């Protein structure tokens, strides 16, 4: 998920579709990331809660570059979470690797946040490599659940397991 976020930021920087840099040089970028595949991790139950470690998510990163949404990269996510089966509230976090192949760059990092009603809201930080070597990214991630009818195109007509809206600041 985060990997996708970073990819979108780098793509926006390359094509010039971002807001102007702030006074401290940070560049704001926004994108949508869709989870198109999930491989389950190690699960256990205790005290009415589900504990999952090592769930793998394959995400696709989309940005609106002015004439509609364009896929700008992929994000591989390792996700760990603990959630109450009664309330669907809990905590979650993990790692990401956002790959931006057309830009010769990627971002790696981690994220952590709360789960409320089954939806994750988290903060992420990452470091750039390749063309974005030395860049730092901070992002806010807000999960939402689209219907396949609304946003099925995000996964090329396949099932969208979840989607997140990402707002990031990148310091080149």
Question: What would the pLDDT profile of 45-61 be if each residue is shown by its tens digit?
Answer: 999 999 999 999 999 99
Number of domains, the chain: 1
Q: Which residues make Cβ contacts (< 8 Å) with residue 141, sequence separation at least 6?
A: 1, 2, 5, 111, 113, 120, 121, 122, 123, 124, 164, 165, 166
108-143: pLDDT as tens digits: 999 999 999 999 999 999 999 998 999 999 999 999
Confidence of residue 23 (pLDDT cuts 50, 70, 90): low
Containing structural domain, residue 104? 2-171
């Amino acid at each position: 998920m985060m990997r996708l976020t970073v990819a979108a930021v780098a793509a926006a920087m390359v094509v010039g579709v971002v807001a102007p840099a702030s006074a401290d040089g940070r560049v704001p970028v926004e994108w949508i990331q869709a989870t198109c595949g999930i491989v389950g991790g190690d699960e256990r139950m205790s005290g009415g809660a589900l504990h999952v470690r090592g769930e793998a998510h394959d995400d696709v990163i989309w940005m609106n570059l002015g004439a509609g949404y364009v896929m700008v990269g992929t994000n591989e996510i390792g996700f760990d979470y603990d959630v109450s089966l009664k309330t669907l509230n809990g905590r979650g976090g993990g790692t990401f690797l956002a790959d931006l192949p057309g830009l010769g760059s990627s971002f790696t990092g981690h994220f952590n946040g709360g789960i409320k009603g089954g939806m994750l809201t988290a903060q992420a930080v990452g470091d750039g490599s390749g063309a974005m070597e030395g860049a730092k990214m901070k992002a806010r991630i807000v999960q939402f659940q689209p219907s396949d009818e609304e946003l099925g195109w995000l996964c090329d007509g396949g099932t969208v397991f979840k989607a997140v809206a990402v707002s990031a600041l990148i310091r080149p």
